[in-house]
Amino acid sequence: MAALKFEGCLNLTLKKEGEQLTVSVLLQNPACGDNAKRHIPPLILKGTPKELGEGFFPNIAEPVQATSQVLVNMEQFLKGQEEAKKQSALEKKKAEKTEKPATQDPKEKKYLEAMAQVDKLEQEGKFKEAWSKVPQPSDYPDRAEALRERRASLSKQFAPDLFGGEQPQNVAPNTQEDDNSTTDAEAVPDEGQGAGD
């Protein structure tokens, strides 16, 4: 038995029927994680005790060694697959994505929050507020052009037409300051009339 070259557990099952013996030899390697190992059938030898005594080890040595190599190779293959999967570009990208939120640059985070707020205000039709929340292009030189374009598109939504055109329908004129300070012509007293008239 010591001369057999294998890794794992060699299970022998003996069955006696009259003068005949049946020996089942099954090699199992618990280190192999591949379920395909379950499809390897046992080696079955039949014969008289004398025949099995003389030919048992020569008949099982080669199959046991071959089966052992298959099981070891299966495990090496599985480990190689796992390593390749970890090293693949896709897995690296996934790892980078999961790491980014934890190590995100505070300036980048501030930019993304500001732009999310701009989007929300724009959807609500609050174009002036959205325009004021767009980050300064000088703070983000790599995005300066995009920020200028965003501001321009927002300002088109609230800029009055100086040549008598109507304001865009989505924008209500800013009347907060005007409500307190406006007076109509009837509320202004004539210079010729006294306060008591």
Task: Label the pairing between strands 9-17 and 20-28.
Answer: antiparallel
Q: Which of 10, 4, 7, 45 is nearest to 27 (CA)?
A: 10
pLDDT at 169: 47
What is the spatial distance between Cα 111 and Cα 119, in angstroms, rounded to a whole number? Answer: 12
| pLDDT tens column, 76-123 | 888 888 888 777 777 677 767 665 555 568 888 888 889 999 899 888
The domain locations on the chain are: 9-89, 104-158
pTM, to two decimals: 0.40
Which residues lie across from 22 on neighbouring strands? 15, 46
pLDDT at 56: 85
Alpha carbon 126 to its chain centroid, in Å, reads 34
pLDDT at 116: 92
Block mean pLDDT (10 aa), the chain, length 197 = 81 90 88 79 88 86 86 84 78 68 74 90 86 88 88 78 50 46 50 51
